[in-house]
Structure 1
């Protein structure tokens, strides 16, 4: 089997949440405050009241309706099952309470490592970035090895240093993808790190936009052309109805789930139209 196929298979099976093989870690380890995204307060290390004894959420199919939009948009990128089944070898925190606090500390570190792997895979899946594939693959293999460290070694990782290293190659990938757009009409206010909360961007030609770090919360992007754009942005409650995001890079299912849209929104083939986009119309 080629290295390419091995990498693809690894991604397919390991970089999206598999709640059936996780100990409900995001439902215990992470805190949240009562808000439009969460129906009540929860401290870190405290099991959510919706978490059942089998580590499954009792309202998983109705999260948004029950006031947990934040949960419906969360993605651990496969870190939950990695910590549960690999790092802790299937020993859950309920039956092994002595491991609980440590496991809850390991989980967010693993989540960041798996998020890095997801972005690296996205870059490796981009034909335009082929000149960078050797370096991207080396980064991927390095981070993948880190995910298999012992729990003691995971807790000593300086995660920000690894983010800084891979970010260089993600930026270069973004530049190659966006350069294809050749879009002189794109508004200059649309750039990396832009604060565009509630912005009226309906129908704009934003091909090749660098939206990395942009705040597009509740922005009106209806029918906007967002092809070949870099989408590492905050798009909570943004309206993507009729928008074209084909060919965009670094757009995750979690971002899509946090936004609004409709059946006419065009997404990259790896992403799905969320159920609430249809039911809310």
Structure 2
């Protein structure tokens, strides 16, 4: 009679690893749990440290809609995030494709200089950028936020690294068939690199949606501000209503959560360098 093999027990190392992962998950999810619970409580309950669901959710939502024009604020934020993301992906993918596919003597030097710009802190660029936007007459305009976000060196670097795994035989075959370089990029490169575009879209969209410092400097009118600026003004009031702030924070977080979970599979494939 054959005996079924006994399953080995969990080692101490595995237990420690699982315990660390559980602790990290709890630590990461705690702020979201606090945000959800606080959105249902009043400011007095939140200040007292209440960590149970309350009955003030509808009241907080009503206060938020009275204080903030949500459709306008969300339209401003979505407009900036979508346009900036689309233009960033277009420019960065063209640059990453060009740096990897086309060879020249100065290619690596130009690319290295481009990477060096990542070492320049944004604080050192704010005054020159503000001066440029003022001279161009773009202050208090959404394009003042969109234009500086387009040249993302990190996304260019990301596209070039992913292009290294692109099958070059497809390019050679398309050129032999007489396909132009623009059509090769649009109809050969782009469909194959869908997962790379998806991952870059999530990274860029979240960065533009959560952008705070630069819009705070260049957007001055209340009807031009983004959701992050409005939430900051609500939280920095003399008597802030934390329940209202938490409801606004949840609403501001929902689009990024939807985008991430909708494209989660493509994001993982893109970050792993998967090319189909």
Q: Which has the higher helix share?
A: 2
Note whether the superposition's TM-score is higher than 0.5: no
Q: What TM-score do you get using the length of structure 1 for normalisation?
A: 0.28
- Between the two structures, name the one with larger relative contact order (CA 8 Å, sep ≥ 6): 2
From the CA coordinates, give the structure whose radius of gyration is larger. Answer: 2
Q: What TM-score do you get using the length of structure 2 for normalisation?
A: 0.28
